[in-house]
Amino acid sequence: MEEYLKQALEIVKAQASVRTMTEEEITSMVQKIANGIQGIAEGNAPEEEEAPACDPQKALREKSVICCVCGKSFKILTKKHLATHDLTPAEYREKFGYKKNAPLVCKSLQRERRKKMKEMQLWKKRGSAKKK
């Protein structure tokens, strides 16, 4: 097991050098990769487990959103990214227990958008355009 752990540490170290990872993410990734390497070495194909890459309740953060499928960090989970996992935004929300209309956007960007919409006051502009 020690050899598998060394290999897993090298892989995770390379991953951590290109993106920010929490201690929890690093630990779980090392364990997952070490078990996978050991399984392959012993001739057991690694079983596909449906466990999320992160806790869905903690995935929507202040400055980032973590994809619960692959564990990557974004400001917005786009349709294009979710399509790489063969999911639509609606399927993603259902799979990880989000409300149907929950935005897949980081909290700071959500606030900025809300503020901008209030400043624009489109609902008033639409009303006055109809009256003309």
Domains recognised in the chain with CATH numbers:
1-49 (no CATH), 51-132 (1.10.10.1550)
Please, what is the average pLDDT of the chain?
84
What does the pLDDT look like over 13-47, one tens digit per residue? 888 888 887 888 888 888 888 888 888 877 775 55
Q: What is the pLDDT of residue 9?
A: 84
What is the reported pTM? 0.55
Q: What is the pLDDT of residue 45?
A: 58
Distance, in Å, from the CA atom of 60 to the CA atom of 73, rounded to the nearest integer, reads 10
Distance, in Å, from the CA atom of 83 to the CA atom of 89, rounded to the nearest integer, reads 9
Confidence label for 129 from pLDDT (cuts 50, 70 and 90): low
Torsion, Cα 65 66 72 76, to 10 degrees, reads -30
- A 10 A CB-CB count for 66 gives 23
Residue type, position 18, single letter: V
